[in-house]
Amino acid sequence: MERIKTLIIGSGPAGYTAAIYAARADLKPVLYTGMEPGGQLTTTTEVDNFPGYPEGIDGPTMMVQLQQQAERFGTQVRIGMINKVKFATEKGGIHKAFVEGGAALEAETVIISTGATARYLGLPSEQRLRGGGVSACAVCDGFFYKGQEVAIVGGGDTAAEEATYLAKICSKVTMLVRKDQMRASKAMQHRVNNTSNIDLRYNTEIDEVLGDQVVEGLRMRNNQTGALEEISITGLFIAIGHQPNTEIFKGQLDMDDAGYLITKGKSTATNLPGVFASGDVQDKEYRQAVTAAGTGCMAALDAERYLQEIED
Ligand code: NDP
């Protein structure tokens, strides 16, 4: 079986940054990309908030550049999916990972950067217009709708936070909450209620997103009365939660109730020695490319220190 020092699972900003640092520390990392090489950023258009790109950069290009940077220092990037792991539980133990299609490898350290997947409603019109005005990240894409009317779906903290964020940029934000109350904290609800250009609609769901190539409007349905109403918007933000990609680690790694990996203190260490987690898979608060990259760097440094400790 192939034996390596560092296996990195996932190819978003966290995984590639971990790879850059691990490769430069001579850990000879092997990175498996997962099903969506480049991760969530490949589904966004312009990235304007990653430091170092004064003119902005489109998400897919940025991810190709990160991959090239990781490869420049010797990272082996492999297109493929790790679909099973068997982690060692004692310090210095060897971790096993199984690749879809049959191959398997042994690794002294593993960095998990499998990310999280934004949840969508699943309406055909919503799926068709993803990238054409339907977005799951207000902080990434809100600026493109400066001065325009938009809508947001969801009643949690993310939706409340993103609605107030959008309200600063856009002329009007219609917020659709499916129940007669919001799940968001009282403080966040208070902020939404006190923002004059947020039009809060309870008991309201999307019937259809309107528009052919780009979002032009929304048909909403009041789920108590059945009444339909159409509004004109240019952007629709879906904020109904994320699903961390941690299914294959269940039963081995500590997770919170929502399935996010738990890391120790300020480090990226999981409950198992030699297994580290970085990026959105362990972060439901910030979820930014730059914070993911930061924790990717931390994970590689933690892995390097761990290997050094074993050698000493
Ligand atoms: P949540 O799971 O907390 O909320 C999801 C929201 O989306 C709920 O209002 C839910 O409605 C709604 N929803 C789910 N499915 C649908 C659907 N099909 N149609 C319409 N609405 C739907 O996710 P968040 O991303 O908001 O938050 C995740 C975690 O992160 C939470 O623990 C949150 O507190 C935390 N967080 C904290 C922040 C902070 O403290 N600053 C900022 C952002 C997140 P319903 O209530 O009816 O189920």
Residue nearest to atom 48 of ligand 1 (CA): 183
Q: Which long-range contacts (CB under 8 A, 24 or more apart) does 159-162 make?
A: 159/184, 159/239, 159/240, 160/184, 160/185, 160/188, 160/189, 160/191, 160/192, 161/188, 162/138, 162/237, 162/239
- Ligand 1 pocket test, candidate residues 119, 164, 178, most atoms within 8 A of CB: 178
**pTM for the whole structure:** 0.80
26, 48, 58, 137: which is the annotated catalytic residue?
A: 137
Question: By CB neighbour count within 10 A (0-12 exposed, 13-18 middle, 19+ buried), where does 270 fall?
Answer: buried
Q: What is the pLDDT of residue 140?
A: 83
Phi, psi of 304 (to 5 degrees): -60, -45
- Do the domains 2-117+242-311 and 120-238 sit in the same CATH topology, yes or no? yes
User: CB of 121 closer than 6 A to ligand 1?
Assistant: yes
Domain ranges of the chain: 2-117+242-311, 120-238
Residue 44 has pLDDT above 90, yes or no: no
User: What string of H, E and C letters represents the secondary structure of 170-190?
Assistant: CCEEEEECCCCCCCCCHHHHH
Q: Average of pLDDT values for 237-259?
A: 96
Model pLDDT, residue 131: 86
Backbone angles phi, psi at 274, to 5 degrees: 85, 0
Q: Which residue has a Cα nearest atom 25 of ligand 1?
A: 241
137 an active-site residue?
Answer: yes
Higher pLDDT, 42 or 15: 15
Q: Tell whether domain 120-238 is in CATH 3.40.190.10.
A: no
**How much is the mean pLDDT over the chain?**
96
Percent residues over pLDDT 90 in the chain: 89
pLDDT over 80 (residue 45): no
Confidence label for 139 from pLDDT (cuts 50, 70 and 90): confident
Is 58 a residue of the active site? Answer: no
Quote the pLDDT of residue 119.
93
Q: Which helix (H) or strand (E) holds 166?
A: helix 157-169
Question: Given its phi and psi angles, is residue 169 left (phi above 0), alpha (psi -120 to 50 degrees) or beta?
Answer: alpha
2-117+242-311 — its CATH code?
3.50.50.60
